[in-house]
Chain A
Amino acid sequence: MSSSVLQNLRFRPPRQRSFKKAPLPALHIKQLEQALRQTEAGAVCALTLLLDLKDLKTGMHATRLAEWAVRVGEELGLGEEELRDIEYASMLHDIGKVGVPDQILFKPGRLTDDEFEQIKKHPEYGWAILRAVPGLESVSLVVLHHHERMDGRGYPAGLEGDQIPLGSRIVCVVDAFDAMLSSRSYRKGLGIEEALRRLRESSPDQFDPQIVAPFAELAASDYTEIAKLEEPAA
């Protein structure tokens, strides 16, 4: 090419390109992927924090669940991506409760049938909220189905057995366990042995026995450590 043409080019022709530039896109891709993961994590934290600010008990409950669920997931040999999804789903499983009126959420006594129907909407609300974030699609599905039962008598979809996402089956078990252990205003919390006994009793109808078994072992050994994740005394 004549020199005037070279001068008019805005970039160097390929033959003269420095190879030091070649790895740059790859490095940049890694940085971008990391930025993407961090933004997703940030969104999860923001959503959880908002719920936490509204009701601290919910926040600590979610934190404990995430611990339990990830440990169960590790026992079951799940991969990094799945563990991450389960961790997020546990943290966010009750996010839909923002749609439930305060007087029902914080009601000290037993709920009426009507009130219970309103609470039963929270998995769908959670799903709607989480669907908005592109990377949290599978998390939103786990949240949607975390109140299903193995025998198909759960809500909202009445899924059975394997139809229920694995993450949902895990969250279901750890959620019930943590709830049983917590004290409410109308009853005291159960001990571990009793809670585990009830979990076993309710499987395979409600809970997946293939999750209850490894979980029961974990609960015995890890309970004291996770129980420390408590809301501060009033």
Chain B
Amino acid sequence: MPAQTLVQPRFATQRGDVGDGPPPSVLRFPDLGVKRLHESLRRTEAGAVDALHMMLRFAGSSPGDKSVRICVLAIELGERLGLPRAEIRDLEFSALLHDIGFVALPADLLRKHGVLTREERRQLQRHPELGEAVLAGIPGFERVGRIVGVHHERPDGGGYPHALRGQEIPLPARILSVAETFQAMMTDRSYRSRLPLREAIERLQAGAGSRYDQKVVGLLGQDPDRFERLLTDARMQLSEHELGPQPPRPEGEN
């Protein structure tokens, strides 16, 4: 059975404009070997992201399109905020892999409905660190790992695992945080249906500055319909592709 990679080349990195191209001095001597190797390197990195993301889907820890939708959202927010290309690439990868740590956690914990014990919550909250540990070993993924490691921090210091505050949290992580929350609010769950768009924006605005980065929330509030459409479009684009072998998945999300 053919395995389609889930992420199709439509994001910044694979459009060919990426932070780390050949250095200018080499471009003067158009050497196909060098160009091809740079291309291979980019594709290998993208492939590593795809493989890890596939592990996440196989583990049933994340409905197939959740991370991709967050990714599309995060990239849009990042571009609008004027992030440099290299950081957009980091943001893209970290958005796809931010939940990778869940693969390491017991499946029944992830599936549990109802109230979690303190120990269970503590276990689940290890997923950012676990994700960072996994990514730390890949050359070129240090910043990606860092973003994954802090994507549950909050500007007011009330997040985890390090209780970082404000600017201590890298901007891509603050963007990812808001994107994930918005996506969660706009998704049906087993215990509640998705929030109306206006309510989602209101909740985000209520937490601006404390739970969520003020600037990022402001950006969302300027054009909520467009961002909602981005989420829907991402979902529709994905259903056009074969998602590959899927094990039977239990109900519920993390």
Chain A residues with CB under 8 Å of chain B are 11, 21, 24-25, 28-29, 32-33, 35-36, 38-40, 42-43, 45-47, 49-50, 53-54, 95-96, 98-103, 118, 121, 124-125, 127-136
Query: When the two chains form the complex, which single residue of A11, A45, A99 contacts B59, counting CB atoms closer than 8 Å?
Result: A99
Contact A33 B37 (CB under 8 A): yes
Contact A46 B139 (CB under 8 A): no
Given contacts A32-B34, A53-B104, A99-B247, contact A42 B48 (CB under 8 A): yes
> CA–CA, A41 to B77, complex, Å?
32
Q: Given A33-B37, A42-B137, A53-B130, A129 and B107 touching (CB < 8 A)?
A: no
- A102 and B106 contact, CB distance less than 8 A: yes
- B58 at interface (Cβ–Cβ under 8 A)? yes
Q: A50 and B34 in contact (CB under 8 A), knowing A39-B139, A39-B140?
A: no
Residues of A with C-beta under 8 A to B51: 43, 47, 129-130, 132-133, 136
Does B55 lie within 8 Å of A128, measured CB to CB? no
Count of B residues near A, CB < 8 Å? Answer: 48
Contacts of A128 in B (CB 8 A): 1, 3, 54, 244-245
Q: List the 8 shortest-distance A-B pairs measured between CB atoms, nearest first.
A: A42-B138, A128-B3, A53-B104, A43-B48, A132-B50, A133-B47, A99-B58, A32-B37
Contact present for A132 and B3 (CB under 8 Å): yes
- Residues in chain A near residue B107, CB distance under 8 A: 101-103
Cβ contact of B1, chosen from A50, A96, A124, cutoff 8 A = A124
Expressed in whole angstroms, the minimum distance between the Cβ of A134 and any Cβ of chain B is 5
Expressed in whole angstroms, the minimum distance between the Cβ of A231 and any Cβ of chain B is: 15
Provide the bound-state CA to CA distance between A101 and B107, in Å.
8
User: Chain B's nearest CB lies how many Å from the CB of A103?
Assistant: 8
Q: In whole angstroms, how far apart are the Cα atoms of A36 and B139 in the complex? A: 9
| Minimal beta-carbon separation of B100 from chain A (angstroms) | 7
Q: Is B43 an interface residue (CB 8 A)?
A: yes
- A100 adjacent to B247 (CB under 8 Å): yes
Docked CA distance A155–B157 (Å): 53
Q: Is the CB of B133 within 8 A of A35?
A: no
B residues neighboring A (CB under 8 Å): 1, 3, 5, 22, 25-26, 28-29, 31, 33-34, 37-38, 40-41, 43-45, 47-48, 50-52, 54-55, 58-60, 100, 103-108, 130, 133-135, 137-141, 244-245, 247-248
Known: A36-B37, A53-B104, A98-B58. A25 touches B31 (CB 8 A): yes
Q: By the criterion CB–CB under 8 Å, are B41 and A101 in contact?
A: no
In the bound complex, CA of A234 to CA of B55 (Å):
27
Which listed residue (A43, A103, A132) contacts B138, Cβ 8 A?
Answer: A43
Interchain CA distance A132-B55 in the complex, whole Å: 11
Q: Once bound together, how far apart are the Cα atoms of A131 and B34, in whole Å?
A: 24
CA distance in complex: A111, B44 (Å): 38
- Extra A-B contacts (17), CB below 8 Å, given A50-B100, A53-B130, A102-B108: A24-B25, A25-B31, A28-B26, A33-B37, A36-B41, A39-B41, A39-B45, A43-B44, A46-B135, A47-B55, A98-B59, A101-B248, A102-B106, A127-B3, A129-B54, A132-B50, A135-B40
Cβ-defined contact, B44 with A53, below 8 A: no
